[in-house]
Each structure stands twice: as C-alpha cells, then as structure tokens.
Amino acid sequence: MTQYNGVNYTLELAGKIAISQGVTRSDLKVISDTYEAAAIASGSTIVLADVPIGAVIHGIQVATDALGASTTISIGDSTNATKYLSATSTVAAASIDAINVDGLGYVVGTNPGDNLILATIGGGAATGTIKSEIVYA
C-alpha cells in the first residue's frame, strides 16, 4: 500500500519552508458563545465571534434547540454566509460538528470583514438556544 503525504508535511520533510503559526504544531484557542433567539426572522444574522486577523480556522461546532418549523442555520462571514457550514436544518435539536472544505484552514484577514463569524437564520423565524465554539490557532 502506498503512503501519501500532505502538502505541508512534504514541505516540512524537505526543509523547504518553515510552517507558519496556525498551520502546524500550534496551540488551539476557542471562542464560545450562546444566543437565545426569540422569533428572529429568516435572513437575520448573529455574530458568534470576532476572530483575530491572521488566525487559522480549525473547526466550528454549533448546537441548537429545535428552532422552529422550516428553520436552518448557516455559518460564514460577511463575504460568504456559508463559508463554514451550509444551510442545515434546525427543525429538531442538533449538534453540528462540521466545516466546509473552504472554511477549514481559512486564514482570517484574507478578505475585509471576514473576522466576524456569523450565523444566518434561514427558512422561518427561529426561537431557542444557539451555542457555538470557534476553534482557531
């Protein structure tokens, strides 16, 4: 069976680059927050975190109550509402530990305003608890 190496590991083995902070061998940090939604309208956004410029996103976890009929939640920033999580149903209580491929390893500060991590409510009015953890280095 053949072994394949990731890009950064290959470069590190070759001594070709010093891997930047936040990409490898980094201390992770977490920003946690909670929001109690009370019939907030579809299209509304909730600021979950203000992540430092230069931070590298390593994961996002979201847990919600059943927020209401036809409701969804997506996680992104001012440049892309679904950068980290595409619209996901919140009709039933959910614990979402997923991140879109373009969001994993994203360097904050690449685009203006991308430091604010936003939850966007879709589908219908949302009522209930939304908790989040943003993991970055």
Task: List, for residues 46-86, the tens digit of each pLDDT value.
Answer: 999 999 999 999 999 999 999 999 999 999 999 999 999 99
pLDDT surpasses 90 at 98: no
Written as six digits, the tokens of 1 are: 């069976």
Q: Architecture of domain 26-136 in CATH?
A: Sandwich (2.60)
The pLDDT-based confidence of 12 (bands split at 50, 70, 90) is: confident
State pLDDT tens for residues 22-40: 666 678 999 999 999 999 9
- Over 80: is that where the pLDDT of 11 sits? no
Give dist(CA 39, CA 125) in Å, integer. Answer: 5
- Domain residue ranges of the chain, discontinuous segments joined by +: 26-136
Q: d(Cα 137, Cα 131) in Å, to the nearest integer?
A: 20
Whole-number pLDDT of residue 8? 72
